[in-house]
Amino acid sequence: MSNSRLIVIAIDGPAGAGKSTVAKALAKRLDFFLLDTGAIYRALALQASRLGVAHSDGPALGKLADSLPIRFDAESRVWIGSEDVSTAIRTPEMSQGASTVSAHPEVRAALLGLQRQLATAGSCVVEGRDIGTVVLPDAPLKFFLTARPEIRAQRRFDELRARGQAVGVDLATTLKEMQERDQRDEKRQVAPLKPAADARLLDTSDLSFDQVVSAMEQAARSRLAL
């Protein structure tokens, strides 16, 4: 597709709704690039932990976010400076950490411009919590993915297991932590997790991965005339 018409597809929703895998596959099918905004909050939480900045300290986190040396490479790996942190940011600790740091208004303000700027690099699929509502409200196509909590927890647990990060973690704990995170993401003052008024809601609980991606691809091709 030509670069003269840059298109953004926004995908929001809670943890475990299938956003990441689906967004990746959709981007590939459409030959768009993928922007995983959760990775930015995760990288900030990791950097804060390493530098001894408390996840409760909004002003300090805002400053850290202003100069966070984060970048994504062509394979969507995440770098802080010269270190590939793609795996380090995917632990349960960093899931909670990202949710905590992302609730601070200073952090959200600091990372807004970065997300918008990254989204101008080409046509892209952008996934997060507030993409359709706040970051890119003019996106011509928006999805909000959901699934029942038990299903989302099972998916998260399977992901952790597949990455060898499930040691000492069980399904019940994963469910509990996910529900805490949903609560925090939905209740925060700035840019809470919620569907945009013009988002297409998709409950993925009883759909296969392929059904979800195909439905989204079809919507994209007809809505955006791709």
Query: Which residues of this protein are in contact with ligand DC, per CB under 6 A?
Result: 15, 37-38, 41-42, 95, 98-99, 102, 128-131, 181, 185
Q: Would you say 1 or 54 has its CB closer to ligand DC?
A: 54
Q: Would you say 203 or 226 has its CB closer to ligand DC?
A: 203
Per the CB < 8 A criterion, the answer to whether 32 and 123 are in contact is yes
Residue type, 117: Q
Please report which residue ranges of the chain form alpha helices under DSSP H: 19-30, 37-51, 58-66, 92-102, 105-118, 149-162, 171-187, 209-224
Query: Residue 71 forms beta bridges with which residues?
Result: 79
Q: Find the shortest distance in angstroms from Cβ 28 to ligand DC.
A: 19
Which DSSP category does 89 fall into? G
Q: Would you say 18 or 60 has its CB closer to ligand DC?
A: 18
Q: Would you say 5 or 50 has its CB closer to ligand DC?
A: 50
Q: Would you say 184 or 226 has its CB closer to ligand DC?
A: 184
Q: Find the shortest distance in angstroms from Cβ 108 to ligand DC.
A: 7
CA distances from 66 to 80, 114, 157 (A): 13, 9, 33
Q: Would you say 92 or 213 has its CB closer to ligand DC?
A: 92
Q: Please provide the size of the chain in residues.
A: 226
Q: Find the shortest distance in angstroms from Cβ 19 to ligand DC.
A: 6
What's the token pair of residue 6? Answer: 């840059």
Q: Find the shortest distance in angstroms from Cβ 127 to ligand DC.
A: 7
Q: Find the shortest distance in angstroms from Cβ 37 to ligand DC.
A: 4
Query: Residue 142 forms beta bridges with which residues?
Result: 10
> What b/e readout covers 149-183, taking b as 16+ CB neighbours within 10 angstroms?
bebbbbbbbebbeeeeebeebeeeebbebbeebbe
Q: Find the shortest distance in angstroms from Cβ 42 to ligand DC.
A: 6
